[in-house]
Amino acid sequence: MYRELILKLTQDSELVKIQPPCPEDEIDSAEKTVGYPFPKELRALLQELNGDKYLLLSAKEIADQAVLNRETQEMYSDEEFAKELDKFIFFATNGCGDYYCYRAGPDGIIDETAIYIWEHEESCWKQVAANMSELITRYYNDEI
């Protein structure tokens, strides 16, 4: 499903390089590192393709980003922008320092009904899509 969608939307691009499916144990390991279970659609995406070397991060890159977010929180613990970094699962990037993500609510449960962009310059987040397919479609159609 996601593979076909990306191939359709990027047929004229040589930059997008769809990766093979991610093994389950790597997805499980990434979830442990992040500290939250992945939303069903993120898990399904990783089972189908482990990133696309353009927009979508691999399971390892998602885990690495979570580690970096925690380190940033420690270094900048007094800064407002760092206080909620551990509430996000960053799984895609626009290449300009901003990340697409899911967000955990106050109860620690990931909201699977919204995908956000975390804008690094403003240190803020806003909803950009309701689901993974919408995010991929809007991104590759230059709508976000």
Domains and CATH numbers, the chain: 2-10+17-140 (3.40.1580.10)
- What's residue 117's pLDDT? 97
* pLDDT values of the chain reduced to their tens digit, one per residue, 144 residues: 999 999 999 998 899 999 999 999 999 999 999 999 999 999 999 999 999 999 999 999 999 999 999 998 888 888 877 778 889 999 999 999 999 999 999 898 999 999 999 998 888 899 999 999 999 999 999 999
- Which residues on neighbouring strands pair with residue 92, listed in sequence order? 56, 100
In this structure, which amino acid lies at residue 17?
K
Place of tokens 């106050």: 106
- For residues 140, 39, 103, 89, the Cα torsion angle rounded to the nearest 10 degrees is -70
Give pTM, 2 decimals.
0.93
- What's residue 115's pLDDT? 98
Cα–Cα distance between 103 and 82 in angstroms, integer?
Answer: 14
Backbone angles phi, psi at 123, to 5 degrees: 50, 50
Q: Which of 57, 53, 54, 70 is nearest to 101 (CA)?
A: 57
- What's residue 82's pLDDT? 77
Helices (H), 12-122: 24-34, 40-48, 59-75
Cα–Cα distance between 75 and 29 in angstroms, integer?
Answer: 25
